[in-house]
Amino acid sequence: MLTITRNVSLRYLEKKQQNKSTPFSALSNRDFDTEGYTRADSPLAEKELMQLIDNLPEGYRKVFKMAVIEGYSHKEIAEELDIEPHSSSSQLTRAKAMLRNMLNKQTLP
């Protein structure tokens, strides 16, 4: 059940990136059916998720926040950070992979 919750949270973040950003605070327990679950089974709290994001390497963190939280396109990120759009895309992919690994380490018994 915890794996499903984690995957739903990650898919939510990915969809948010595709649909431009909604406020990050929209990722809250009210967006998920959490009735009957303990705290350990519920999605990560915003603060906990932001702490994981802040642990990403600087470049990955900047791209992730701009793309997922702020809703920038890869072209806009590239212009802002003076990198190529494909670099933005690659860094976002790597940031997501690192977050998945951090989530797996944090949630494994």
Q: Which residue has the higher pLDDT, 41 or 9?
A: 9
Question: Where in the chain are the domains?
Answer: 2-107
Give the per-residue pLDDT at 4.
Answer: 64
Residue 29 makes CB contacts below 8 A (sequence gap 6+) with: 42, 43
Give the per-residue pLDDT at 34.
Answer: 42
Instruction: List alpha helices for 1-109, DSSP H.
Output: 2-18, 46-54, 58-64, 74-81, 85-107
CA–CA separation, 6 and 12 (whole Å): 10
Give the per-residue pLDDT at 63.
Answer: 96
Among 50, 55, 39, 53, residue whose Cα is nearest residue 5: 39
Per-residue pLDDT tens over the stretch 91-103: 999 999 999 998 8
Per-residue pLDDT tens over the stretch 18-76: 555 445 554 444 444 444 444 444 455 778 888 999 999 999 999 999 999 899 999 99
- Topology (CATH) of 2-107: Arc Repressor Mutant, subunit A (1.10.10)
As given in the structure block, the two tokens for residue 57 are 């390497």
Q: Is the pTM of this model over 0.75?
A: no
**10: pLDDT strictly greater than 50:** yes
CA–CA separation, 93 and 95 (whole Å): 5
Give the per-residue pLDDT at 39.
Answer: 47
Give the per-residue pLDDT at 48.
Answer: 85
